[in-house]
Amino acid sequence: MAKKSSKKAAPKKSAKPAAKPAKKAAPKAAKKAATAKPAKPAAKKGFDAVAARAHVLKTLDFASGINKKLVADWPEGKLAHQDTPCDNHPLWTIGHLGVSNHWFASIFDGQPAVDAKLESTYGGKSKPSANAADYPSLADTMKLYDQGMARLKKALTTPKDPLSKPKQMADWVSDTIHAAQLAVWHEGWHGGQLSTLRRSLGLPGVMS
């Protein structure tokens, strides 16, 4: 018998692994998104003095409108009414606000505020008189008030730069915005006094 061969058969070579599928190209939009620089945060806006002045003047219009409503239906025979000698009645208050607004305007437009008679009747050092005959009619007093308000608004909006300093009293009133804020406060201050007198006369509120 023939001898069996001692040589082992060589192992069969395994088949090559299947080639990996080719990667699909990424869409162009995705590539752009990956390489795009992050958006810069929006720049913070600085203080807008023009807008600030406009807002305060709008508030001044509101306060002025309320004071007009407070005296619009005041009884004719009670225009100098005072619960106490310290009360500021409509004939004095409306005239005082008009003179004060002329004064605010004068420190910007450089023109005289009011004459000496008006100053002595309605100025900061004057005192209300309980005698209505000491004052013009309410209609004439309202004209003084309207003129003062119109002059004030013109004086405060004439400077292109709202932060312009006044020609006088710069140590007390810093700029047109500050002057408008003080005028708003002044209107509200005296409006509160008129409101209290209205209640004492049994008149209805004006904010409803």
What structural domains does the chain harbor? Answer: 63-200 (1.20.120.450)
d(CA 28, CA 129): 86
From the centroid of its chain, how far is CA 161? Answer: 16
Which pLDDT tens digit goes with each residue over 44-72? Answer: 578 899 999 999 999 999 999 999 999 99
pLDDT on residue 170: 86
pLDDT on residue 120: 97
Give how far Cα 140 sits from Cα of 102, 136, 143, 146, 206, Å. 16, 6, 5, 10, 22
pLDDT on residue 15: 55
From the centroid of its chain, how far is CA 120? Answer: 33
Q: What is the DSSP letter of 203?
A: P
Instruction: Please tell me the pTM assigned to this model.
Output: 0.78
pLDDT on residue 12: 54
